[in-house]
Amino acid sequence: MSPRPITIKIDATLHALNVKVCISTTWWGLDASDILGKHIYCDLTLLFCHANGFPKELYEPFFTDLHSAYSASGQRIRSIWALDAAHQGASGILNERHLGDEPSWNDLPRDVLHAVNTFAAQMPAPLVGVGHSFGGHAVVRAALMHPGLFEALVLLDPVVEENERFPHVASHPAAATARRRDICVWRSSGLGLDGWLTAGDGQKHGFRALPTAIYPDATGVTLATTKHQEVYTFLRRMPDGTLGRPEPGVTFRALKQLVPPVLYIVGSESTVCIPEVNQRKMENTPKAEMEMVEGAGHLVPMEAPGETAALAARYLVRLVKRWGKGVEKDEGVVRERVLGEEWLGLLAKL
């Protein structure tokens, strides 16, 4: 296998928002005029959020295929930033002694905003949000919180649905997760806790060595994201005593307010993005397109990384070309730091 042409950045510390809603807020629409110059116009920055229970590193085959497909167009991906939610993956390991039992789906979107603001110098526009499942919800919610944050969204079988109890899923995955065996004897045995996690990146990044905070006396390996945090993410205890997850429904009902264009990529066999759900998303999302990967299920970027990446790359090439033309046009517009004659004329009519 050839060396990966991308570098995954980890172990970073965040501070606090820099990206403006309107391009005319600053001269030439730039949030830091000494950072973004013509030489990197149209170099694409991606920010990625993962699915519940799937560490960011497990998406590296998809990232590699996306880099290759996009580069084939003659354009360049400047960087891909992938965030683990605070209670999952490497972040969950870092924070394991401080985690509770009720993570909110609205926490990761706020961390997305925080990350973009903290690393603004390294994340110049055009910035595109990419998210899978739970992570798809995160980038949508971040875009609703800050309409100017992303130039576009690429949503991979996202969980953004009006029915908070997901009645179309015959057996909720939270129940299976709660019953799942949580400890393996050793990583090199080839034993896996969850199907395709048994090889390659799955063994390297999907597992962690014991002991841990919740298994202080055990040996072997367990999953990087604990099954407990995975279940807490799937469902929360509702005020009426039932189990549900209200945030996807709230976000679905706000889809009409989305400013950036959206590409949905869904699996034809998905139990989450079923046909009626897809239709509702398209009816409620402005400037939306949808592509379907035949034969793939909810884990579309893992099951079909090459095809998923090709669809995303084709969309992003069109988007970035359009963005570049807009930036060039905006450069010729003089920004007024003081009220000009046009403004004074309009004010005189009040």
Residue 79 has φ and ψ, to the nearest 5°, of -165, 155
Q: What is the pLDDT of residue 316?
A: 98
Number of domains, the chain: 1
For residue 331, give Cα distances in angstroms to 24, 111, 128, 151. Answer: 10, 31, 21, 18
* Cα separation, 231 vs 234, whole angstroms: 5
Please name every residue paired with 130 in a beta bridge, in sequence order, or none if there are none: 48, 154
On whether the CB atoms of residues 302 and 267 are closer than 8 A, the answer is: no
Q: Where are the alpha helices (DSSP H) in the chain?
A: 60-71, 89-94, 107-118, 134-145, 173-179, 201-206, 227-234, 247-252, 275-284, 300-303, 305-331, 341-348
In a domain, 329, yes or no: yes
How many residues are given for the chain? 350
pLDDT of residue 241: 82
Whole-model pTM: value is 0.84
For helices 107-118 and 134-145, the axis angle rounded to 10 degrees is: 60
pLDDT at residue 83, rounded to an integer? 95
pLDDT at 2: 55
Helix (H, G, I), strand (E, B), or coil: what is residue 252? helix
Q: Which residues, including other chains, have CB under 8 Å from residue 149's CB and lie 6 or more apart?
A: 19, 112, 113, 116, 127, 129, 142, 143, 260
Q: pLDDT, tens digit, for every residue of 25-80?
A: 444 444 443 333 333 356 999 999 999 999 999 999 999 999 999 999 999 999 99
Phi and psi of 315, rounded to 5°? -70, -45
- Would residue 42 count as lying in a domain? yes
CATH number, residue 106: 3.40.50.1820
All residues at 6 or more sequence positions from 211 whose CB lies less than 8 Å from its CB, including other chains: 217, 218, 219
In a domain, 337, yes or no: yes
Supply the range of the domain harboring residue 106.
23-167+243-348
Is residue 127 in a domain? yes
Quote the pLDDT of residue 28: 44
**Spans of the chain below 70 pLDDT:** 1-42, 164-171, 185-204, 332-333
Query: Is 215 inside any structural domain?
Result: no
In a domain, 177, yes or no: no
The 8-class DSSP code of residue 11 comes to S
Task: Quickly count helices (H) and strands (E) in the chain.
Answer: 12, 10
Residue 67 lies in a domain: yes
pLDDT of amino acid 10 = 54
CB 160 within 8 A of CB 257: no
Please give the pLDDT value at position 309: 98
pLDDT at 251: 97
- 293 part of a folded domain: yes
